[in-house]
A and B are shown apart, each in its own frame.
Chain A
Amino acid sequence: GQQLNQSPQSMFIQEGEDVSMNCTSSSIFNTWLWYKQDPGEGPVLLIALYKAGELTSNGRLTAQFGITRKDSFLNISASIPSDVGIYFCAGANINFGNEKLTFGTGTRLTIIP
């Protein structure tokens, strides 16, 4: 099935550093979502974006819905150890009660001690 292009695939950073990842698609979406997955668990929703150009924050996390509706980015400021995990973007067209999410390939975040 279709997948979004998410980059980078992996990141190795030191605690306290800022993180930036993005997601691009050949298709337009009216909704962008960002999830975090810890090992052996299901993804947990971090931020939902519903409007082109929207910039939304959730604590140290900030995400933006691209103007073209074909991309989104996620920033994490001042990273901490619990930020470790895999981050997934997902796009959807939530209009008619039958939306399906298209997921990115994920960004694995590792914090170097």
Chain B
Amino acid sequence: SQTIHQWPATLVQPVGSPLSLECTVEGTSNPNLYWYRQAAGRGLQLLFYSVGIGQISSEVPQNLSASRPQDRQFILSSKKLLLSDSGFYLCAWSTGHSEAFFGQGTRLTVV
């Protein structure tokens, strides 16, 4: 069966520090991968999606970037965090012809 792993679960980082969140998927090949952000009490905003290695599409202009160095690995990064980057970050995967499945999320607090 397919599983998705996302880490860390929680993270507290100072303003201006770098960020690296990792997501890996097991049990499937060539998945579509997604990064979402959820502000407190709000819906999910799509940040990035990828249909293959090295292929990244950005949905909104922001302080973040994404990379897909391997087929089942998706990384969310920032060189310098802003206070406004705080939120709940969710990684998700789909086969491209089905619904998306989410990881457990990373709660990021920028202080």
1/0 per residue B39-63: CB within 8 Å of A? 0011111100101000000011000
Q: Which residues of B contact A97 (CB under 8 A)?
A: 32, 51, 96-97
Task: Give the distance in Å from the alpha carbon of A35 to the alpha carbon of B97 in the complex.
Answer: 17
Residue of B nearest to A44 (CB): B102
In this complex, how many residues of chain B approach chain A with their Cβ under 8 Å: the count is 28
Contact B107 A40 (CB under 8 A): yes
Which A residue's beta carbon lies closest to that of B60?
A1
Total A-B residue contacts, Cβ distance less than 8 Å:
67
Complex CA distance for A105 and B94, rounded to whole angstroms: 21
B90 in contact (CB, < 8 A):
yes
Interface bracket on A: 20 to 34
Known contacts A1-B60, A42-B90; A101/B42 CB under 8 A: no
For A1-22 the 0/1 string (1 means CB < 8 A from B) is 1010010000000000000000
CA distance A65 to B41 in the complex (A): 26
> What are 21 sample pairs from A and B whose C-beta atoms fall under 8 A apart?
A1-B46, A1-B59, A1-B60, A6-B43, A40-B88, A40-B105, A40-B107, A42-B6, A42-B102, A43-B102, A94-B98, A94-B99, A96-B96, A98-B32, A98-B96, A99-B94, A100-B46, A100-B59, A101-B46, A105-B43, A108-B41
Q: Told that A92-B99, A99-B32, A101-B46 touch, could you supply 15 new A-B pairs with CB distance under 8 A? A: A1-B45, A1-B60, A33-B99, A40-B88, A41-B104, A43-B102, A88-B44, A94-B98, A96-B96, A97-B96, A98-B32, A99-B97, A100-B49, A100-B59, A104-B43
Residues on B facing A (Cβ under 8 Å): 6, 32, 34, 41-46, 49, 51, 59-60, 88, 90, 92, 94, 96-105, 107
